[in-house]
Amino acid sequence: EKARIGVTGLAVMGRNLARNLARHGHPVAVHNRTSARTKALVEQFGDEGTFLPADTPEEFVASLERPRRLVVMVKAGAPTDAVIEEFAPLLEPGDMIVDGGNAHFADTRRREAALRERGLHFVGAGISGGEEGALHGPSIMPGGSAESYEALGPLLEDISAKVDGDPCCAHVGPDGAGHFVKMVHNGIEYSDMQLIAESYDLLRHAAGLAPAEIAEVFRTWNTGRLESYLIEITAEVLAHTDAATGKPFVDVVLDQAEQKGTGRWTVQTALDLGVPVGGIAEAVFARSVSGHAVLREASRHLPGPTRAKVAGSSFADAVEKALYASKIVAYAQGFHEIQAGSAEYGWNIDAGSMAAIWRGGCIIRAGFLDRIRAAYAADPHTPTLLTDAHFAEAVGDAQDAWREVVATAARIGVPAPGLSTALAYYDSLRADRLPAALTQGQRDYFGAHTYRRTDREGTFHTLWGGDRTEVDA
Ligand code: NBP
């Protein structure tokens, strides 16, 4: 018997993905550089399905039916290149290598082009949902050729999460499209987490609620329009008490957030594409600020506001509105980046289908994503989700409360970079005139960078150092 698919790299993610495949009745070849992991997998979970363990790459490749589907689940970066170099010479035209790791989409584009020249398909597949998702059904974002998706898609759809019977897996687009979308997914995740953290901070310091009380607030929110995995786990974390000290768990954890890099990539890429993703950037920077222990220690004595806390009983409702409106902005910015990437690289990504496959399996799964899917169904080319009828109405209803929450944060000196930047973005888009006109004037003054006019075509320059007449540039 041959295996329908193979997984090499059997750390947490690869092991669970292989088990998921086996549990769905797909005979799966398994291989790991260090064969002890392969043995352990078969010993512990061999009864879950058909595993074909292989000690060597040659054995592994020989055990796969054709076209060969070879999933690589190793550490992103150099290890992925090493594994590709090891296996590619053993494969035949039409076979495919699937990289399920968190690769940078530019690496995926490079690898896809190189393997295409050798007649092989390379599928960069974003996989979200962590260890549990890999086992019970992740959200899968495969890129690569349409032909490779024909051979691979049904298998991936089979093991993905399901929402209303629909698989949380769809072909994203050519070469790096899958990893690009996974990257932006993670950026949105950063933003969503930061907004939730700021909401907690404000409930705590402006409304004076204790962590356990805030957990209850989040539990209530989780029954409404904010219903999501992240809100659900936030309530769990806030309700948790540290066994050693009896204090709220959140009070004994060092307040320095770490990051692995996908949020940073999302922002770096957005800068290259010229897409404003302030919500994601502030989320990345907020983690960065938190980690600067020396800087924070040196700044602790700086003066804060003299006014004490002010929030009344309706404050939690206001925060709910601010959070919802800011969340809409976060997703609007992320989807803008997806649309821009798609245009830049010719991927033709169906944004609505990305929202659909994020509804289950992944970290940002939420009922909310159905709204985004519907928004793109109504207008696939909408320049921003904010103008969709549902979202525009929601933000319109929320905006007074949103402003109040941001103002309260500023007044009492609690940092709310995510909520604030989201509001600034909203007001920037809404503005009839932006001070960018003045910026253009300054640029023309000091650098003769020229400007355009509102009232006629052309490019102009004012002779600032002379008689200030305007000339055609
Ligand atoms: P790790 O990222 O910790 O990688 C460990 C695996 O890489 C082991 O199988 C190891 O083999 C193998 N490996 C390394 Br390291 N260097 C190698 C080389 N030169 N040649 C061959 N194999 C090599 O595993 P993971 O946490 O399961 O994650 C796998 C991928 O999935 C990563 O890209 C990760 O970013 C991504 N991802 C992880 C999560 C998560 O929640 N952990 C979620 C989503 C995506 P060995 O056993 O011989 O050392």
pLDDT at 257: 96
Catalytic option among 112, 157, 189, 320: 189
- Across-strand partners of 97? 70, 122
The pLDDT tens digits for 201-216 are 999 999 999 999 999 9
Band of pLDDT at residue 312, cut at 50, 70 and 90: confident
Instruction: Give the pLDDT mean for 311-340.
Output: 95
Instruction: Give the pLDDT mean for 116-140.
Output: 97
pLDDT at 313: 72
Predicted confidence (pLDDT) at residue 316 exceeds the cutoff of 80: yes
Give the single-character DSSP code of 457. S
Do the bridges between strand 28-31 and strand 51-53 make them parallel or antiparallel, or are there none, so unpaired?
Answer: parallel
pLDDT at 197: 98
Task: Tell which residue, 62, 50, 52, has the closest CA to residue 26.
Answer: 50
Instruction: Give the pLDDT mean for 430-451.
Output: 98
C-alpha gyration radius of the chain: 25
> Which of ligand 1's atoms lies nearest the C-alpha of 260?
35
Task: Tell which residue, 276, 315, 339, 342, has the closest CA to residue 412.
Answer: 315
The pLDDT tens digits for 454-466 are 999 999 999 999 9
Binding-site residues, ligand 1, Cβ < 6 A: 9-14, 32-34, 37, 73-76, 79, 82-83, 101-102, 127, 130-131
* Active site annotation includes 182: yes
Asked if 323 contacts 199 with a C-beta cutoff of 8 angstroms, the reply is: yes
Tell how far the Cα of 74 is from the centroid of ligand 1, in angstroms.
3
How many CB atoms are located within 10 Å of the residue 94 CB?
14
pLDDT at 306: 83
The pLDDT tens digits for 4-23 are 999 999 999 999 999 999 99
Residue with tokens 């499209």: 177
Band of pLDDT at residue 408, cut at 50, 70 and 90: very high
- Structure tokens given for 353: 């289908």
Give the single-character DSSP code of 69. E
260 known member of a binding site: yes
Task: Tell which residue, 263, 264, 262, 286, has the closest CA to residue 200.
Answer: 286
- Prediction pTM value: 0.96
Task: Tell which residue, 181, 183, 174, has the closest CA to residue 147.
Answer: 174
pLDDT at 369: 96
Predicted confidence (pLDDT) at residue 323 exceeds the cutoff of 80: yes
Catalytic option among 182, 198, 282, 320: 182
Asked if 116 contacts 143 with a C-beta cutoff of 8 angstroms, the reply is: no
Percentage with pLDDT > 90 across the chain: 97
453 contact partners, CB below 8 Å, separation of at least 6:
460
- Structure tokens given for 202: 């404000």
Q: Where are the beta strands (DSSP E) in 321-465?
A: 460-462
- Structure tokens given for 351: 């944004």
Instruction: Give the pLDDT mean for 246-274.
Output: 97
287 contact partners, CB below 8 Å, separation of at least 6:
190, 194, 257, 258, 259, 263
Query: What are the Cα distances from residue 30, in Å, to 2, 8, 78, 157?
Result: 12, 6, 21, 20
Tell how far the Cα of 98 is from the centroid of ligand 1, in angstroms.
14
